[in-house]
Structure 1
Amino acid sequence: MALSPTAAQRRVIDAADPATGRLRGTPAQLAALVKRGLAFRHPRPPHDHFLTPAGHRIREAADGPESVAVPSEAPAAPDTGGVFAARVGGEEAAPGDPGPARLREVRGAWQGLLELRRMTHPDGSTDRPCAWERSHLVRAAALALEAAGHRPAGPGGGDGYRVRAT
């Protein structure tokens, strides 16, 4: 929906947890954000509310709600086929990289990798690489570096990491 949030809703959006997007507010404020498509209610208890991608865009807008594009006018992301790709170094950085959206993507991918480790090891440990990591060494190493906060090298080299197959 293209409706701008009220001042009270804007304060709730601005106070959202930066890592998870978890919202805190009155039931009426949260319900209004859900109705506007800026938040969703988690289906499992305790039924917390979280920002949607449209809510994150409003939160990240520098000039307030009037500068936020409606979802159909959102800037196109680099075409990766809808799949997260860790930066191995040497590629062009997307506009706004590393913005809050990219940091959320990296955090989510790293958590997914840890869950993959937990599920594939009989003892449930997450401190050892899983089979996927061993078969995709470059992507796994690049994800680990990016999740640790390191910056990939740009297309002309320079400071940063560059991951290559050996």
Structure 2
Amino acid sequence: MALSPTAAQRRVIDAADPVSGRLKGTEAQLAALVKRGLAFRHPRPPHDHFLTPAGHRIREAPAEPETPVPAGPAAPAEPAAGGVFAARVGGEEAVPGGAGPARPREVRSAWQGLLELRRMTHSDGATDRPCGWERKHLVQAAALALEAAGHRPAGPDGGDGYRVRATPQPEAVAVYEPDGTALRGCAVTLERAGWHVGEHTEPRTRARYLLASPRKV
């Protein structure tokens, strides 16, 4: 069973790459996380450290408030960390990190991190099909594949652009795009990213949409 991290170790976990779980820290910090079952050292060079599933659960759980320690003068406050990267699912008002000039670089970095996570977690090192993280974060994973391929998400007021939404079906998301050509383009992108994709019509509105699920083999 993984041991709970100290406050300092929790900060290292919280700073891990949001997609791949790659960790940065001193050798002592990383070794301590490995000992607690919260990280592992990749066997291939450059032997980076990554969160284990237990480490990912720790990061996704809200941090417990630290007990204040009465002492002398208060230390200067540390600068707040930047927002965690999130792929644009379409229709949201705001996205952590914004949509400024740095956004394409952040999206590319997140996609490359996801491909590395696939390579690490698949026994055959394959990167052409989704990994366990994607199956647990279906909407985010599908949206990242679309955004990384250059598709435009819908704005908060709707209009053209993709929207990725959860469905009642296990391991399936719905992708909406009012432009038929763009919808077919989304299908091609998801298929290339390792998803099974089918086009459907809503009975009531007659709107076309994609139903996508991560491919297993």
Give the structure with the larger strand fraction: 2
Which TM-score applies when normalising by structure 1?
Answer: 0.48
Q: Which has the higher helix share?
A: 1
Whose RCO is larger (CA < 8 A, sep 6+)? 1
TM-score by length of 2: 0.37
User: Considering only CA atoms, is the larger Rg found in Structure 1 or Structure 2?
Assistant: 2
